[in-house]
Structures are given as C-alpha cells and as structure tokens.
Structure 1
Amino acid sequence: MFKPHRAVAYTAATLSAALVMAACGGPSGDGHDKAVSHAAPAVGAQGVNAQPASKVRQGGTLKLSTQTWITQYNEYQVDGTDGDASAILEQVEPVLMPKDAKGVPHPDPDYLRSARVTSTAPQVVTYELNPKAAWSDGKKMSYRDFAAVWHALDGHDDRYLVADSSGYDQIADVARGKDDQEVKVTFSTPYADWQRLFRVLLPAAAIDTPEKFNKGWIQRIPVTGAAWKIKSIDKTAQTVSTMPDPKWWGARPKLDSITWRALDLPADTEAYLNKEVDEAPAILPEDYKRLAKAPDTDIRRGARWDEVHISLSERGALGDVRVRQAVDLATDRKGIVAAFAHDLDFPVETLNSHFFMPNQAGYEDTAGKWGTFDLAGAKKLLDQAGWRDNGAGKPRTKGGRQLTLQYVISSGSASASVDQAQIVQQQLGMAGIKVVIQQVPQADFFVKFIDRGAFDLTSFRNVDEIFHSQLFSTFQQPKGAQAYLNYGRIGSPEIDKLMTQASRTTDTSKSNALYNEADKLIWAEGHSIELYQRPQILAVRKGLANFGASGLGDSDFVTMGWQK
C-alpha cells in the first residue's frame, strides 16, 4: 500500500502453526537459511518506473486502496497520523519540501522559490513562497499559514490535541518578511532538522482555533492547495475521489482522477486481480505467488524506513519497569523474525535500533542485553518484582491476581498479526506471563485503542521517519493528559534530554551518537521491542510510471500516470 507517514497497522507473512511453535524456542531452521534471490535494496533504491513527463500520456485513472475508512485528515492532530490519511492529505495540500530517492528534501518550486538558513546566531530560516501559490478559498499562501501551524503545534496550548510538538517548540517567532510571501522563522535554540517542519502546509483559516484544528478535518478536507482537489468523500461507498484542480498554477497532472477505496488488507490481492485497484502489497509469500503471475504486472521493490515492533504500555503490571524488562528478555526476537522471513525472497534481519534502519548511516546495535532472549533472566526479574512462580504452564500471581497482559490486534489485519501475537503469547507464557489476545474492530484499532493507550501489548509499524527528530514524540515523556505519540506513556527525563541535545546538534555524527545513547535508555525502559525492517514489495500495473516502491522518497502526484 501507498503509505508515506507514521503509524500503520502491522501485517506480515502468514505463518503456519508449525512455525508458530518453532519460533517459540528460537529460529526455525526450515527454510530460513536458504539462499534468497534478491539482495536488500541499497539506500536510494526505488521501484517506480521513473519516466520523464514527456513519456507519460495525458489522462486515465489510478485506483488505490486504504486500510480503513479515514476519520481524521489533519496529520498534525493526534488522531490523524494514519499513513493513508497522510497520503491523501499530501495529494491535495502543499508538500513544501518533498524528499528525493535518498530521503533528501528539496524545495518544490511550485510552492517555494527558496528555503534556507539565513542566520545562525540565532538560527533563522527564511522561506520565499511562490507568489502564485494560493488556497482553494482564493487566499494567497503567506506567513500567516506558517504562524498558524506553529501556534497550533508549539505545545503551549493543550487545547490543540497535537501528535508532535518537537521542533515547533524550539521556534521563538514566525514573522512576515519583506512581504506576505516571505516568512522568517527564528529558533530559540539551534534545530538541525528544520527541513522537516512545515513539510505539509495547512491553511490558517482551517486550523487557527482548537475547534477547527481538532474537529474541522474529521471526514473532510475543508481547504486544499495543490494540483489536486477533493471531488467527493463517500462514506457509504468507502471511497475518496480526487481530480485535478483547474486553478492550479503549475504543470497539469497527467492523470484525470485518483480514487482511494477502503479495503481490509486480506482483500487487496483479490481486488488487484479483479482490476479494482492498480497496486497491492506483495510481501506475503502466498500473495506474491499470485500477484507475480498476474498479467501486465510489475513487482517493484524499494528501501523504505519501515519498522515492525511490539509496543508496551505502562498500565497495570507493566507499570513496574522490571516486568517490562522481563517481557523484553522473554521475547525471542530471532524466532519471530525467522517465522516472518520463512519463504520470502528477501533477506530480513533483526532490527536493533529504534532510530535507524540498518541501511542508514549511524545505525548500531543499541539493544544490548534487552534485545537478547534470556528466559532465565526474565524469570529472575519477575521474582524480584514479587510475581510468584506457580510452575510450568501456570501464570504467576501477586496479591491474589494473575500476571495477565492484553495483546490488542486489529480484526482486519492479515492472519500474520494473529500469528505473531500467538508466538509472543507462547514465549511469554514460558516465563509465567499470561497473554490474552484481544481482536478489536479495524476502524477502532488506532482511534479507540492505540491512540488512547488502551493496551498492554500491541504491534504496528512506524514508517518514513527519515529525520530522527520525527521520533521525538514517540519516546517523549508524556505531560499530564498529553501523550503525543508515546501511546504506552513510557519515557524518562534522561531520554528527553538526550533527544533534545541530539536535535540541537548540527554535527551529524555527534547527533547520531546522542540518539544512540538515548536509544540505549529506551531499550532499558522497556518502551517497545524492535523486530525488523519491513521489506517494500509491491505489485503494480505494468505501464504505470513514476509510482510504486518509492523507498526513502516521495511520490509525485503530478507526473505519475500511464506510460505512452
């Protein structure tokens, strides 16, 4: 699926019952060590059938899917971080600095004439907007829009239910320059990842009050400002239809329309084979075999920032760090990864970092002992926490209650999410931790459970976190009712301090070192258990240009289309 943003429901390869059992005791030898036919893509690798605009025909429709019906389209709001919602938002709103194949952002001339650091003491970034750039309500894009985004996201007004205030909370002022189209952003402290801020510009008129910010984008996009606009949002048909905006001042999009249809993940393959959609995930071996044989189909691969992990919560027994650490030690990550990688034609290794992918500079093993399977160590920690061992196969008890954890999964996910939960259930059971798997409606998974911290254990993916500071809110210590994206509410002042220092350090190697130091504490706190970097393998209609496995880059909605 086309997912350019944060949290995405977890899916993986379907596992047999035999593999589930094998994974509980360590890596499965059945097929796991076989040679693979494709090496892992390098940084910058894409599979998009890149073509110049002159070789893309005018017209045609592109049919895409979403995992669920989208409720909140404001990606800056705490409920708006779903990847599909961001994909649609970024089709119809200004993406000021899209990323190239290597993940490097560059100003889009349709919106920005320039964006650069014009002072270092204090740090000032000056943006020059394209004077033609305008919103669908007729207003020119201006410094007022930047100021409204900053005001909503700087963390000073808790009525704005924001997903992430990092970076914006280091801005001292957003002011008008020589005219309304010049914006001067002054930072109170240096901020290395300034290019990630204001990535998607939203109109001031639609976010300048908490009410508009929180509720004005529910099942609607009130104002647009791109080459595309919303044609219809049809909840009954579960489709969002988009069309080129005739008021657009740049090059005309090649396609006549793009439609997004909500589909449960298991339905993607059938929908693709029935020509109801033009793209489908091909990572599951059983899907890959069918999709690769489909007529007029390309299998496209890319190197994406995409990780699968298990999140822990601080509620109940997990409020004791020793219990969280015991969960870490009792989880055999290599066994889970071996089960996932079975029958894949793509190498998959255990991921040992929360901030870096293995194909990124700065990656190192920060997991230490907390990423190592140690059943005896897990039992010792539970003993220390006062949970009595009642013998093999029986849950531990304390004060008359059992050590029981709820593992929340979406009912709409592929069977692999159930299989992974069952592996964890059996692994933790060996330590005396009872795991109850709770399936919840797909539409409720994030909004009512993950976003609200209503879980003990769960699993989903974080994607496209190219800038390490994007993960600040994921590990940031909550403030009162504001948890940001730290759904399990696990953090510490020391972690915040190191992440803050890293974000203010403009020397990349020193910044990377600080993030790695923070990560060692994140592992020790039992915040989450990293599993692996998820391969990006897609089935795409042959002849579809400038679209597919985009790796570290962004898709261009103007040039994508059908090849001549």
Structure 2
Amino acid sequence: MRRTTVLAIAATLTASLVMTACGPSGKPAAKKQAPSVGTSEVNAQPVSALRQGGTLKVSIDQWISQYNSNTADGAQGDAASITAQVEPTLFLADAHGVEQPDPNYLLSAKVTSTSPQVVTYTLNPKARWSDGKQLSWRDFQAQWKALNGTDHAFQGADPTGYDQIGSVVRGANDQQAKVTFTHAYADWKRLFNPLFPASAYSTPAEFNNGWVDHVPVSAGPFKVGDYDKTDQTITLVPDPKWWGPKPVLSQVIYRVLDIDTLTQAFLNKEIDLAPAELPEDYQQLVKDKNAVIETGSRWDEVHITLNGGRGPLKDVRVRQAVEMAVNRRAITDAYGSGIPYRVNELGNHFYMPNQKGYRDNSGIYGTYDPKAAAKLLDAAGWKDNGAGKPRTKDGKPLELAYPLSEGSNQASVDQSQLVQQMLGQVGIKVDIDKVPANDFFNKYINVGDFDLASFRNVDELFPSELHPVFQQPKGDNLYQNFGSVGSPQIDALLDQAQATTDPAKAVALYNQVDVQLWKLGHSIELYQRPQIEAVRKGLANYGASGLADTDWTKVGWQK
C-alpha cells in the first residue's frame, strides 16, 4: 500500500506577506532546482558494512487504530507504512518508480494472456504466514472478493483495479494464482501489494474489525513485538520465522509525536529522521553535526480539499470562487523562502511538475482572481455585506469549517490562517477548529465532517491509485473522495484511463480528468514538496528515498 495521507505543512507566513507576495519584490536569491525524478539519497551501503543489531527510532503522527490499509482509516500514512513493513510487499520500486517482484515472495509475476488479460503470480514456496500457512492463491482470491465492491459489507476504501477482475483461481499448484481481468488494467502491479492473509480477510467482520488495534497475521522480516498505547509506541522486531535475508536492525520503534516537536526530538536524539522541508526546521537541522541532509524526488503534494457534500460548497460556483480566492503562488513562494530548493507550484492532480505527463491544467480556476471570485459568489446569491463581514444568503452567513489537528506545528496553523484571510477578502468566513490529533482523520476527514481541509497525498506511483480520491462516492462509502466532488464524466474517463495500456493515451485521459477536477472545484493543488530529510549520521539504506521502496532487511547502522 503506497498511498498515504498526512497532515499538510506550510511555511510560517505573515498577513502582510500574503497580501504582497503575488508580485515580485526584489531579486530572489538563487536556488537549486527541485530534485529531479530518480533522485534518491539513502546512504546506500552493503550489508557487510553494517553492524548487526541496533535500534531505529521513527516518528508517526497518530496512534494506529486500524492496520488494514485497504480501509479508509488504515490508508492513513503511518498505518499503511507499518502494515507494508510486516505484510508481503510483492513488488519493490527503484528510484525511478519501476516496480520489480520481490523474490522473497514472488518467483514471477507476469501477463500471460492479453485477450482477456491474465496475470499469473507464482509465489515463493518458502513464504509463510505467521500462523504457519503457506502464502497461496486463496489469499489473492480473498483480497479480490473483499475489495471488488460487490459485497458492500466489506468497508474497502479503494475498489480500483479489483473491480476489473473477473476471477482468481488456482494455477499449477496452491502457490500459483491466475488473475483474469474483464477489462485490460495497465496498473496491475499495484494490486495485492501488500498481500493480506485469507485467514484474516475472508469475512466482513475480519476485514473491518479484525485489524483494529493489532496485526492478527503477518509475513515479513519484522513483526509487531509491542503495542504500548500509554507510551504511544509501536515496536517492530525481527520475525524468527522469516525465511529471507536476516534483518540488520534488532528493532524499529515508532513513536507518536506532534509535528511541531520533530526537529527538537531529532536534536535530542529521540528519533533518527526528521523532515527538513520547512525553513525553520531546515535552518536548525542543517547545523547539527550528527545529521546528514538528504534529498529525494518524491511524489508529494500539498492541497486543500473542498467538501461539496454539504453546506455552501454544494454549489460549484462557491467552490470555484474559493479556488480563485486562494493565492497559490503566494503560499508556494513563501513556503520555499527559507529552504535552498525551488518549490514547484502544482497545476495537476495526477502528475508532479518534474514528471513525464505533467501539464498545468489549473487554468482560470487556479489563477488568483478575487474579483472573479466575488462575481461567482454574487451569481450564487451570496450578498456582499462590505469589507470584513461575511456574505449572507437567506439570512445565513457564508461560513466554512476548517478542522486543524492539535498536533499541527505553528506553520500549519499559519497556513490555515492565511486561507482564512484570503477567503475573508471575498466575504467567506472560515472557522479554524482545532481537533485532537488522533481524531483528525478518523472523525473528521475520513467521514467528510469538514468544509475545507489541508493534507498531503504522497507516493502515488500509479495514477489509478488516485481513482478513489476522485470517483463519486456510493452511499456512505466515500472511498477516499472525502469532499464528495465528482461526476459521471470523471468516472467514465477514469475507467477508460485505467483500461488503457498505451502510456501516452493514458496520460492524455488523466489530463482530461484533471481539467474537469479544476472546473468542478474538487481540490486546490498548492505545491510539490521537495523531499528533504535530516538523517542520523551513520544510518544506512534509509532516508530520502524518493520514489524507491525501502528494503527493511538492509536498513542499519554503519560499523
């Protein structure tokens, strides 16, 4: 599971900067280009150069309550990362995002027929679940049935790709699965990754509730050794039943920490990696003699989701007005003012600016134009009551709720206040509501209880991974379209794109979808975050990995 959602972080800005940043003032300092695609800095070392044992300490944003990463709650970034570390990750990506089978799990995986499309997976016979059962075709079948969307009792977050499968059957033996698609599916390598056990996935009760607060069955080089809710730590230890190369580390400790404490926690040696993308963090971390600053090219975007499922934002004209009232260039320029890398403003929901296929489709809806925003609000019937006062309609004020995690650092608070100020200029009142960090996703974002919300989507290696973000919800299942903004046209284009095996044609289709997303006011793309990490000196094969996956058996400390 590559998709993660994490709290968006903005730079510390002042109100005066917001009002003046739309035009250049003085000559900007020279900056390095943002890391290009393929950039990955992890202090790569052979295992022979590492000492056996040792502890890696890593921060997470919130306590993990759901470890099934195919549910909405489990798709949260920290949960998905831990799950992928203890469950079979069938494919590993290199620095350019090219996926290759992990031989610890797969002897082969390939398209063995094109009409219809059939993918045959041959499992490593040594691979076993922690309950002693061999990985088998039954695991593929159970995961397909749970996620294909036909049984709504399974609360799956993303049916994309699984809903294109017609059957999963036994191949030459139990360790071979033959997956037959009803329609061609170009991104088939993203499916069953990670693979979950049929023994804990076959019923709705197992799928929905069997992974709450714990991992019932695993099959990785590490397993969960301890869940300490009091200390807010989750400890992973090597699994003695692991059949592959022995992990170097003796434990990995994940600890819940507020975002604004990470820099100090790193400086105090409480954690071994801290994000350095924020100017105030970078300027402290770059001076630490025990830190190495690493950069990578990550699929990483900051955006604002608009909730069209309730309140004033049900009206597309109001959503479009919000888009035009937000000064994206000012936020981007200010964010990057204190770091040595150019920050790319983002005009696409599917591709990063340094990625093949990128096209800026933001058009008029991504252009800062408060006068046009005001006209849209007039047309929508929201009366202008003068400067500093919210517009009204039918006696009700134009008021939007913007939940913000209590774990947010000051920079995140500042971004919300900037949006509040920008929208206030056109008569939209924004209420910033601080909520408990552990509730931010589970009780607000995942269930659509907000009007505006800012967070990041990262590591979307396959465009079809974003389908649940943009497809229309069905009933109570929002998938990952938390703002409920979509259309039949977008759904049809998404279906067409995922069935297109010609890369150039697929890119064209995804760009057509992107045009519609801007027009509908689904979300406001702000910028691509450069990956800048402070890594503890001596830590090897871990850090700013960019598009690459981490091989956890090779992470360790140099001798």
| Counterpart secondary structure, 2:103 | coil
Distance in 2 (CA, whole Å) between partners of 1:480 and 1:68 is: 28
1:563 Cα deviation after fit: 1.6
User: Please, which moves more after superposition, 102-111 or 54-63?
Assistant: 54-63
2:204 is the alignment partner of 1:177: no
Structure 2 vs 1, CA of residues 77 and 31 (structure 1 numbering), >3 Å: closer, same or farther? farther
Q: Which residue is equivalent to 1:393?
A: 388
Counterparts of 1:157-556 in structure 2, within 5 Å, are 157-314=151-308, 315-556=310-551
Q: Which residue is equivalent to 1:95?
A: 89
User: Please, which moves more after superposition, 441-450 or 411-420?
Assistant: 411-420
Structure 2 vs 1, CA of residues 272 and 26 (structure 1 numbering), >3 Å: closer, same or farther? closer
Distance in 2 (CA, whole Å) between partners of 1:285 and 1:399 is: 45
1:541 Cα deviation after fit: 0.9
Counterparts of 1:144-155 in structure 2, within 5 Å, are 144-155=138-149
C-alpha offsets along residues 434-459 of structure 1, whole Å, 9 cap, x if unaligned? 11111111111000000010000010
Instruction: Answer yes or no: is the 8 Å Cα contact 2:221–2:239 preserved in 1.
Output: yes
Distance in 2 (CA, whole Å) between partners of 1:276 and 1:421 is: 29
User: Please, which moves more after superposition, 264-273 or 187-196?
Assistant: 264-273
Distance in 1 (CA, whole Å) between partners of 2:125 and 2:83 is: 22
Instruction: Answer yes or no: is the 8 Å Cα contact 2:278–2:335 preserved in 1.
Output: no
1:14 Cα deviation after fit: 2.5
Instruction: Answer yes or no: is the 8 Å Cα contact 1:12–1:414 preserved in 2.
Output: no
What RMSD in Å do the two structures reach over aligned CA positions? 1.3
C-alpha offsets along residues 390-449 of structure 1, whole Å, 9 cap, x if unaligned? 122221111111111111111111111111111111111111111111111111100000
| Counterpart secondary structure, 1:69 | coil
Instruction: Answer yes or no: is the 8 Å Cα contact 2:34–2:344 preserved in 1.
Output: no
| Counterpart secondary structure, 2:247 | coil
| Counterpart secondary structure, 2:101 | coil
- AA at the equivalent of 1:463: V
| Counterpart secondary structure, 1:445 | helix
Structure 2 vs 1, CA of residues 31 and 237 (structure 1 numbering), >3 Å: closer, same or farther? farther
Q: Which of the residues 8, 11, 16 maps onto 1:10? A: 8
Distance in 2 (CA, whole Å) between partners of 1:373 and 1:444 is: 33
| Counterpart secondary structure, 2:51 | coil
Distance in 2 (CA, whole Å) between partners of 1:219 and 1:143 is: 27
* Structure 2: segments with no counterpart, 5+ residues: none
Distance in 2 (CA, whole Å) between partners of 1:242 and 1:260 is: 8
1:33 Cα deviation after fit: 2.1
C-alpha offsets along residues 274-308 of structure 1, whole Å, 9 cap, x if unaligned? 11111111122222222122222101110000000
1:309 Cα deviation after fit: 0.2
Distance in 2 (CA, whole Å) between partners of 1:25 and 1:267 is: 30
User: Please, which moves more after superposition, 288-297 or 496-505?
Assistant: 288-297
Distance in 2 (CA, whole Å) between partners of 1:416 and 1:287 is: 10
Q: Which of the residues 131, 134, 153 maps onto 1:137? A: 131
Distance in 1 (CA, whole Å) between partners of 2:136 and 2:202 is: 14
2:65 is the alignment partner of 1:67: no
- AA at the equivalent of 1:10: A
Instruction: Answer yes or no: is the 8 Å Cα contact 2:18–2:331 preserved in 1.
Output: yes
Please give the TM-score of this superposition, normalised by the length of structure 1.
0.97
| Counterpart secondary structure, 2:431 | strand
| Counterpart secondary structure, 1:540 | strand
2:100 is the alignment partner of 1:106: yes
Structure 2 vs 1, CA of residues 24 and 450 (structure 1 numbering), >3 Å: closer, same or farther? farther
Aligned residues: 558
Distance in 1 (CA, whole Å) between partners of 2:26 and 2:107 is: 54
C-alpha offsets along residues 320-339 of structure 1, whole Å, 9 cap, x if unaligned? 11110111111111111122
* Structure 1: segments with no counterpart, 5+ residues: none
Percent identical among aligned pairs is: 56
1:161 Cα deviation after fit: 1.0
1:54 Cα deviation after fit: 2.0
1:524 Cα deviation after fit: 0.5
- AA at the equivalent of 2:139: D
| Counterpart secondary structure, 1:437 | strand
C-alpha offsets along residues 527-564 of structure 1, whole Å, 9 cap, x if unaligned? 00000001111111111110000101111100110122
Q: Which residue is equivalent to 2:150?
A: 156
1:25 Cα deviation after fit: 4.8
| Counterpart secondary structure, 1:342 | helix
Q: Which of the residues 11, 18, 28 maps onto 1:33? A: 28
Structure 2 vs 1, CA of residues 268 and 438 (structure 1 numbering), >3 Å: closer, same or farther? same
Distance in 2 (CA, whole Å) between partners of 1:447 and 1:70 is: 10
Distance in 2 (CA, whole Å) between partners of 1:249 and 1:367 is: 49
Distance in 1 (CA, whole Å) between partners of 2:288 and 2:321 is: 46
Instruction: Answer yes or no: is the 8 Å Cα contact 1:24–1:426 preserved in 2.
Output: no
Distance in 2 (CA, whole Å) between partners of 1:144 and 1:296 is: 48
Distance in 2 (CA, whole Å) between partners of 1:284 and 1:216 is: 38
C-alpha offsets along residues 350-372 of structure 1, whole Å, 9 cap, x if unaligned? 10000000111100011111111
1:13 Cα deviation after fit: 2.5
Q: Which of the residues 80, 83, 100 maps onto 2:74? A: 80
Distance in 2 (CA, whole Å) between partners of 1:362 and 1:414 is: 34
Distance in 1 (CA, whole Å) between partners of 2:259 and 2:317 is: 36
| Counterpart secondary structure, 2:372 | helix
Distance in 2 (CA, whole Å) between partners of 1:125 and 1:135 is: 23
Q: Which residue is equivalent to 1:560?
A: 555
Instruction: Answer yes or no: is the 8 Å Cα contact 1:32–1:343 preserved in 2.
Output: no
